[in-house]
Amino acid sequence: MPLTKKEIIELLKQEILSLKLKPGTILSETSLSERFGLSRTPIRDILKQLSLMGYIDIYPKKGNVVSYIDLESVEQITYLRSTLEKEILKELSPNIPLKGLHKLRYILDMQKDCIQKEESKEKKMEEFMALDDKFHKTLFVLAGRSFIWDLIQQFNVHYIRYRRLHALKEEKLAQLQREHEQILDCVVRGDKDKIDDMVYRHIRADINSSYLRENFMDYIKQ
């Protein structure tokens, strides 16, 4: 059974976010037509949508390529996210719903387990990051802001790939998990002053790091 357009979009998004499709990879209409057994018209719809969300760049009459990671976009999105997340956490603090708190703690325990697992670094990172998303999304949901979470996710290509690459670093996963625990503690204790600083550091930790430029230069814009 052939895939629907929606499924193809999701598939391509996953391939781009997971870096199976590296930045710079050419996605020509004809090649995708053959791959998915569709004519160029619906494929063009798909490419158009991916381009509006920043997954690909369309060069008229030249071709389409998987977008390079735009560090400026990362900087701006992390500012947006940390600002919103600070506000949300302060709203949840200290009277966070008990059911939600349990869910968050459960996610953090699973992250801890994940780190201990005997798997490849890539697979562990993949699994950990899914839990990471779940953690942050849960916070937005608890605050009644899932709409905003979904909105941000739509144009999060650059930040997600950036974060995945940083997560390959030694000890990075453990650090992220620890920060989650600390943030949650602050929320429970109602220590609002500390929240600002912790969230800012957690989300924007590596924003001035040269790690990507040094190790993944060919993934980065310009």
Partner DNA sequence: ACCATAAAACTTGTATACAAGATTGCGCTT
Partner DNA sequence: AAGCGCAATCTTGTATACAAGTTTTATGGT
Residue ranges that bind its own copies, judged by CB under 8 A = 41, 44-45, 48-49, 52, 72-73, 76, 79-80, 83-84, 87, 145, 147-148, 151, 155
Do residues 131 and 110 make contact, with C-beta atoms less than 8 angstroms apart?
Answer: yes
Measured from the CB atom, the residue of 64 and 156 that comes closer to DNA is 64
Q: Could you say which of DNA, its own copies, none residue 25 binds, taking C-beta under 5 to 8 angstroms by partner kind? A: none
Question: What span, in angstroms and rounded, lies between the C-alpha atoms of 21 and 172?
Answer: 24
CB under 8 Å, gap of 24 or more: what pairs does 69-73 form? 69/23, 69/158, 69/161, 69/162, 69/165, 69/212, 69/216, 69/219, 69/220, 69/221, 70/158, 70/221, 71/158, 71/162, 71/212, 71/220, 71/221, 72/221, 73/158, 73/159
Q: Could you say which of its own copies, DNA, none residue 64 binds, taking C-beta under 5 to 8 angstroms by partner kind? A: DNA
Closest CA to 129 of 80, 82, 166, 92: 166
Q: How far is CA 144 from CA 45, 117, 152, in A?
A: 32, 34, 15
Q: Could you say which of DNA, its own copies, none residue 80 binds, taking C-beta under 5 to 8 angstroms by partner kind? A: its own copies
Least distance from C-beta 34 to its own copies, angstroms? 21
Q: Could you say which of DNA, its own copies, none residue 31 binds, taking C-beta under 5 to 8 angstroms by partner kind? A: DNA
The distance from CA 44 to its chain's CA centroid, rounded to whole angstroms, is: 25
Measured from the CB atom, the residue of 33 and 182 that comes closer to DNA is 33
**Which residues make up the interface to DNA (CB under 7 A)?**
5, 27-31, 38-42, 44-45, 58, 60-64
Least distance from C-beta 129 to DNA, angstroms? 30
Least distance from C-beta 130 to DNA, angstroms? 30
Measured from the CB atom, the residue of 56 and 186 that comes closer to DNA is 56
Measured from the CB atom, the residue of 49 and 83 that comes closer to DNA is 49
